[in-house]
Amino acid sequence: MRLSPLFLASLVADVALASSLAFGNEAIPAGASIEQPRSASYSSHLSVRGHHKKDNWGNALEQDRKTIKIRASSNDTDDISSDFLWALKKANHGGLVYLEKGKTYVIGTKLDLTFLKDVYVKIDGELKFTNDIEYWQANNFYYDFQKSITFWVWGGKDIKIFGSGLINGNGQAWWDGFSGAEILDPDNKFYRPILFLTDNATNIEVSGLHLKDSPCWTTFFVRTKNVVFDDVYIDAVSTNASTLPKNTDGFDSLNVDGLTVTNTRVNVGDDCFSPKPNTTNIFVQNLWCNGTHGVSMGSIGQYPGVKDYISNAYIENVTLLNGQNGARLKAWAGPDVGYGYIDNITYKNIHIENTDAPIVLDQCYFNINETTCAAYPSKVNITNVNFINVDGTSSGKEGRVVADLTCSPGATCSGIHLEGINIASPAGSPSQIVCDNISGDIGVECISSSEADDGDD
Ligand SMILES: *[C@@H]1O[C@H](CO)[C@@H](O)[C@H](O)[C@H]1NC(C)=O
Ligand SMILES: *[C@@H]1O[C@H](CO)[C@@H](O)[C@H](O)[C@H]1NC(C)=O
Ligand SMILES: *[C@@H]1O[C@H](CO)[C@@H](O)[C@H](O)[C@H]1NC(C)=O
Ligand SMILES: *[C@@H]1O[C@H](CO)[C@@H](O)[C@H](O)[C@H]1NC(C)=O
Ligand SMILES: *[C@@H]1O[C@H](CO)[C@@H](O)[C@H](O)[C@H]1NC(C)=O
Ligand SMILES: *[C@@H]1O[C@H](CO)[C@@H](O)[C@H](O)[C@H]1NC(C)=O
Ligand SMILES: *[C@@H]1O[C@H](CO)[C@@H](O)[C@H](O)[C@H]1NC(C)=O
Ligand SMILES: *[C@@H]1O[C@H](CO)[C@@H](O)[C@H](O)[C@H]1NC(C)=O
Ligand SMILES: *[C@@H]1O[C@H](CO)[C@@H](O)[C@H](O)[C@H]1NC(C)=O
Ligand SMILES: *[C@@H]1O[C@H](CO)[C@@H](O)[C@H](O)[C@H]1NC(C)=O
């Protein structure tokens, strides 16, 4: 249908009236604005005809949302956190916060964003954290699990964060400050914030964005149901040759049901994708990882007396370049650890190049020697794991061994199946697959570690 100019003019008047009624008496932060959607009034006039399209959670589409804008920062310490918080409160229940292209929005104050319900955040500009280490180490959200801290916590229901923009963790100062320390060292007190963390959240979708230079893990999902990352680029690159961007994992999780990552690239110096305790229903497709510690299930079984699990993962079409590990399962061993299981995991169509340990089942995590691992073996069972069509090259660091599957004598490893494995080692051929203490046939020829040419003399 065609709308007459007069009809359109009346719509505009409605919009102006609605916004002055709704917001007329409230202070709007300097430089902020609220725009009603063109199509909302349009649809309210035509609502008898109904049938408006909804998003995948049954909420309004982008064009049907009111848009909240805030002023940008004028320099790297110009903190707009309170404006951003105001905007999220205004946009909550059906609106959209918009951060414009070419502008930088600096966050210098910790933010509790756990009140959200049906909100879109469109980031075409840059959201950047201050690197005031003293402030953030005194002001953050803390999680006991691996002593994690974060700048902000996202929680609630139906949250979409998307756009062509950047979330910048400004990590260089953090990596420099952390130099020489070790995150899992019980004495470490130099905590670094996680760049994006959800807690007690249901339905989170992040797409299009670049997540850059996180001080520590890039993402961590806690007590979360249904989180989807699509078309995201994650990197952490140090400009200081003597400090590495340590522990900047791409994806971590704890007590999560439904974790999906698709069409994503990760260039960091630690785990690319590594769900942690109690993560189930995992789906990964078209993932590219460079220089990482691989796509790992775990680590799990870290805390004494605590039962952890990871189950139902389908990982397909992953490229892993220049890393320590490729496809990996990792569980803790030692005198003071927990127990649990990893079950029903499929890695399919995995391409690996120049990687130290392309396929690994490691039950001697973290940082313990063979003697201690043998005395206190892992109690994490590993069952029903498929590695199907894995090709490429190792770095040769583990000699001719390209797959090392060593099960703990304290646990059961069964239903481990390899098929279509074609990984060459520059250290010589044929390459070797180690299988120790795995019960049943693994589908390919394999040898025990004592027979292996693994580069140790
Ligand atoms: C940064 O911008 C704020 C707000 O415009 C201003 O008050 C402050 O002086 C600026 N700081 C620097 C270092 O330029
Ligand atoms: C989790 O969020 C819901 C609302 O989404 C709230 O009712 C509940 O109290 C929260 N639980 C915790 C443990 O914070
Ligand atoms: C690199 O990091 C080290 C360790 O923190 C620090 O001493 C040094 O000043 C840094 N170099 C530069 C150029 O910032
Ligand atoms: C596999 O993933 C890569 C990105 O890493 C993508 O370019 C390619 O199209 C994907 N292949 C298939 C068959 O989807
Ligand atoms: C991949 O990682 C290597 C070393 O980790 C680095 O030199 C190279 O620049 C990275 N490539 C890309 C495309 O990021
Ligand atoms: C995992 O879930 C179990 C219950 O099945 C719970 O006892 C345990 O504390 C959880 N692990 C963590 C690390 O939260
Ligand atoms: C194994 O996980 C897949 C998802 O990857 C799921 O569809 C399937 O039902 C699971 N199998 C069992 C026996 O739970
Ligand atoms: C591990 O497997 C053993 C025997 O196969 C079983 O007795 C034990 O309960 C399992 N542990 C867990 C945490 O599932
Ligand atoms: C293994 O580690 C334990 C605990 O740190 C230590 O006491 C022991 O001497 C180590 N053994 C070897 C052979 O290095
Ligand atoms: C395999 O398990 C047996 C006990 O079941 C143990 O003696 C042996 O050391 C284990 N081998 C390896 C390589 O862990």
pLDDT digits (tens, 9 = 90+) for 340-374: 999 999 999 999 999 999 999 999 999 899 999 99
Residue nearest to atom 3 of ligand 1 (CA): 78
- Ligand 2 close to Cβ of residue 156 (< 6 A): yes
Catalytic residues: 270, 293
d(CA 390, CA 349): 6
pLDDT at site 151 = 99
Longest dimension (CA), the chain: 87
CATH H-level superfamily of 65-257? Single-stranded right-handed beta-helix, Pectin lyase-like (2.160.20.10)
- How far is Cα of residue 347 from the mean position of the Cα atoms in its chain? 18
User: How far away, in angstroms, is 74 Cα from ligand 1 center?
Assistant: 7
Paired strand residues for 385:
345, 416
N- to C-terminal Cα separation, the chain:
80
Domain ranges of the chain: 1-52, 65-257
Q: Which residues is 111 bridged to in the sheet?
A: 152
Question: Which atom in ligand 3 lies closest to the alpha carbon of residue 177?
Answer: 5
Q: Which residues pair with 233 in a beta bridge?
A: 210, 265
Q: What tokens does 167 get?
A: 């979330």
Closest approach atom of ligand 2 to CA 202 = 5
What does the pLDDT read at residue 39? Answer: 64
Do the Cβ atoms of 197 and 150 come closer than 8 Å? Answer: yes
Cα gap 13→79, rounded to integer Å: 35
Which residues does the chain have with pLDDT short of 50? 1-24, 41-48
pLDDT at 27: 86
- Which residues sit with their C-beta closer than 6 Å to ligand 8? 307, 339-341, 381, 412
User: pLDDT per residue over 13-38, tens digit each?
Assistant: 333 333 434 444 578 999 999 999 97
Backbone phi, then psi, for 104, in 5-degree steps?
A: -115, 135
Percent of the chain topping pLDDT 90 = 90
What gap in Å lies between CA 408 and CA 57, rounded to an integer?
43
| Structure token pair of residue 133 | 């280490």
3-state SS assignment for residue 442: coil
Instruction: Please work out whether the CB of residue 349 comes within 6 Å of at least one atom of ligand 4.
Output: no
Ligand 1 is surrounded, with C-beta below 6 A, by 74-75, 77-78
Rounded distance from Cα 404 to ligand 10 centre (Å): 14
pLDDT in tens, 123-169: 999 999 999 999 999 999 999 999 999 999 999 999 999 999 999 99
**Ligand 5 contact, 354 CB (< 6 A):** no
